[in-house]
Amino acid sequence: MIPFNEFVEENSFIVCAHRGASGIAPENTMAAVAMALECGAPMVEIDVQYTRDRKMVVFHDDSLERTTDGKGLIKDWTFEDLRKLDAGAWFSPSFVGQRIPALVDVLEELRGRAYVNIEIKPRAASEQAAAELAELIALVKGLEMFGKCVFSSFDHSALVYLRSVETEVRTIALNVPGDERSPVRVVRSCGADGFGCSIEELTKERSEACRHAGIPFGIYTVNTPQELEFVLDHGASGIVTNMPHIVIPHYRMIASTP
């Protein structure tokens, strides 16, 4: 696998599986990651949260109820206790026994097989939060995956901090819903390499602004062939999808059509 910055130079578009292949497997589990790879996803997006004992885990919500049989906030649980929870049954009985994975295990699964989009969830600024971001960079570097990962967030101050830790980091500023600033201003305000917004926020003004400024932009969550064609018409650089098994074959068909 070539470094992600070289991939971007050589390819005009990338499909990223959202929380793994979360349309066909329970989000942010090893099963969802495995299915994203099976679908041929060149990039996988995951969300990072911290346990009470400061372990980095792959999980979306602050609270456990929606996707596990646990209750309360993930930050109040130890890693050992979280690992006892079922993170697959809510999705389908065939995924009973899926666990909340450690970030390191997900990264090791993806190493050499797909680029990783690590989303950092917004948190209040603190010395501890800063130390954990530095630890995240150290983990990725320790696995020799730094050039294969991008870091995205709605929390643009976290992206600024990441760059202060490591100038070579690649970051994507996710548009905070309701922020009507031009993508150029959003990206420049935090020194990000790219811009991301929802398909509902994708307007001609935003896509033209990105294209004219040469800013790569990705759109979430694009789940159907029609939505894919819509974002391609806008000149998007990538998409985040729950449905890589549908969207990737459709993209390949479009890309191979003269």
Pick between residue 47 and residue 109 the one whose CB is nearest to Ca ion: 47
DSSP 2-50: --HHHHHHH-S-EEEEETTTTTTS-TTSHHHHHHHHHTT-SEEEEEEEE
Considering only 20, 21, 42, 45, the residue that binds ligand G3P (CB under 6 A) is 45
CB 196 to ligand G3P: min, Å: 6
Of the candidates 189, 186, 73, the residue with the CA atom closest to the CA atom of residue 121: 73
Based on the shown chain and the rule CB under 5 A, indicate whether residue 119 belongs to the binding site for Ca ion: yes
Q: Counting contacts by CB under 6 A, is residue 222 touching ligand G3P?
A: no
Q: Would you tell me the crossing angle of helices 30-38 and 244-256 to the nearest 10 degrees? A: 20
Nearest residue to ligand G3P, scored by beta-carbon proximity? 220
CA distances for 10 relative to 25, 89, 116, angstroms:
31, 40, 18
CB-nearest residue to Ca ion: 119
- Minimum CB–partner distance for residue 220 and ligand G3P (Å): 4
How far apart are alpha carbons 204 and 241 in whole angstroms? 21
How far apart (Å, rounded) are the C-alpha atoms in residues 140 and 186? 26
In the complex, minimum distance from the CB of residue 162 to ligand G3P, in angstroms, rounded to a whole number: 16
Instruction: Using CB under 5 A, pick the residue from 47, 155, 193, 227 that binds Ca ion.
Output: 47
Q: Which is nearer to ligand G3P, 60 or 245 (CB)?
A: 60
Q: Where are the alpha helices (DSSP H) in the chain?
A: 4-10, 30-38, 79-82, 103-110, 127-142, 156-165, 183-190, 204-213, 225-233, 244-256
Task: Output 60 or 148, the one with its CB closest to ligand G3P.
Answer: 60
CA max distance for the chain: 54
End-to-end CA distance of the chain: 27
Q: Which residue in the set 23, 70, 196, 216 belongs to the binding site for ligand G3P (CB under 6 A)? A: 196
Q: Which of residues 15-44 bind ligand G3P (CB under 6 A)?
A: 18
- Single out the residue of 17, 56, 103, 174 in contact with ligand G3P (rule: CB under 6 A): 174
Regarding 119 and contact with ligand G3P (CB under 6 A), the answer is yes
Which residues inside 152-171 make contact with ligand G3P, applying CB under 6 A?
A: 152
C-alpha span between 113 and 44 (Å, rounded): 10
Q: Does residue 155 belong to the site contacting Ca ion (CB under 5 A)? A: no
Kindly state the tokens that stand for 189: 């305000």
> Residues in the site for Ca ion, rule: CB under 5 A?
47, 119
> Residues in the site for ligand G3P, rule: CB under 6 A?
18, 45, 47, 60, 119, 152, 174, 196, 220, 240
